Amino acid sequence: MGKNGVEALDPTVAGVPLSDLAAVNEVAPGPRSKRSAILDTAVTKFGADGFEATKWSTIADEVGIGQTALYHYFESKAHCLLTIIRLELAQSYQRFCKASQGRRSRLEELEAVLESVFDVSQKAIIQTRIVMANTDVLAAPRNSEREETERLACLELTREIENAWVQLFRLHYEETGSGQDPVLTARAVLGLFNSLWRWYRPGGPMSLTNVSGFYRAAARRIID
């Protein structure tokens, strides 16, 4: 069973509450803030055309602001991309935390977490596809302080997410008496799920319901 209380639902990641990392606005937005609109447009364009093929000026045009105004919110297109990655990782971790709470047994907790992976909006799917397509941006330190702050937050979130899955499997195996390695299991299951978002497209010929059933069954075979 998952931990109880607010702390379990809103853990800190490198000293920052998860709820803050999952929030679109770093501070309370003003009535004329374009930050959300810029991020929504960037998600749409990066998802449809790819990060490299999307011009920064195109995002400004779609939002209806001058290109110079973009720099009030983001230092660069890469800074915007890193923010999108950080948001999706944090929101994914939130879904995990919420699904793991208040369950009557470890098995029920495990099933709820597996289901939560696919209980996502179309926007979340596109954001995850962006994450999968651009993980190389996390590989090397950034020259910009704001970009580097986002990059480090993404790396820490990645570690926390993997650790949460490892702990889930460790407790499950302690209860079942299995000798299976929870670290290898977590990495295998996460790799399986991540592979889905590299090819699955909302509105395509296969429904997420059908696809999720197949992938959950495959994950159970890895787990057991």
Residues 95/120, Cβ–Cβ less than 8 Å: yes
Cα separation of 41 and 9, whole Å? 29
Q: Which pLDDT does position 4 carry in this prediction?
A: 46
Structural domains in the chain, CATH included, are 6-223 (1.10.357.10)
CA angle 175, 196, 52 (to 5 degrees): 130
Per-residue pLDDT of the chain in tens (224 residues, 90 and over written 9) = 445 444 678 999 999 999 999 998 755 456 578 999 999 999 999 999 999 999 999 999 999 999 899 999 999 999 999 999 999 999 999 999 999 998 888 999 999 999 999 999 999 999 999 999 999 999 999 999 999 999 999 999 999 999 999 999 999 999 999 999 999 999 999 999 999 999 999 888 999 998 999 999 999 999 99
